[in-house]
């Protein structure tokens, strides 16, 4: 019986930890699919064209916003200060 209680405690702790990590993630980032969330000079994480299969994210600062529409399902296309072009997956808030 004691073992069963320990398993329940671990499962409960993991569930709380998972819910807390989702909450923290939502506070620190914004969605990259809405143009209104992205400003020149903002720190963002983008996926480059060559990294679309792996999903590898590149961090940088927005130099220009290339997508003209108010939203895009795969992320707003931007050019970083380094010259790299990709779609925004996360807007990092400070």
Q: Do residue 39 and residue 59 come from a single domain? A: yes
17 has a pLDDT exceeding 80: no
Q: Could you tell me the residue range of the domain that residue 15 belongs to?
A: 1-30
87 has a pLDDT exceeding 60: yes
Say which CATH number the domain at 36 has: 2.30.30
The pTM of this model reads 0.69
Q: Do residue 11 and residue 41 come from a single domain? A: no
Q: Read off the pLDDT of residues 45-72 as tens digits, 9 standing for 90 and up.
A: 999 999 999 999 999 999 999 999 999 9
35 has a pLDDT exceeding 60: yes
Q: What is the DSSP letter of 36?
A: G
Q: Do residue 12 and residue 38 come from a single domain? A: no
Q: What is the DSSP letter of 39?
A: -
CA–CA separation, 93 and 64 (whole Å): 18
């Amino acid at each position: 019986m004691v073992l069963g209680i320990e398993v329940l405690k671990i499962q409960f702790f993991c569930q709380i930890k998972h819910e807390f990590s989702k909450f923290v993630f939502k506070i620190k980032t914004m969605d990259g699919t809405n143009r209104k969330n992205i400003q020149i000079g903002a720190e963002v994480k983008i996926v480059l064209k060559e990294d679309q299969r792996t999903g590898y994210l590149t961090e940088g600062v927005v130099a220009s916003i290339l997508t003209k529409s108010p939203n895009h399902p795969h992320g707003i296309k931007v050019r970083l200060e380094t010259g790299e072009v990709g779609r925004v997956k996360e807007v990092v808030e400070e």
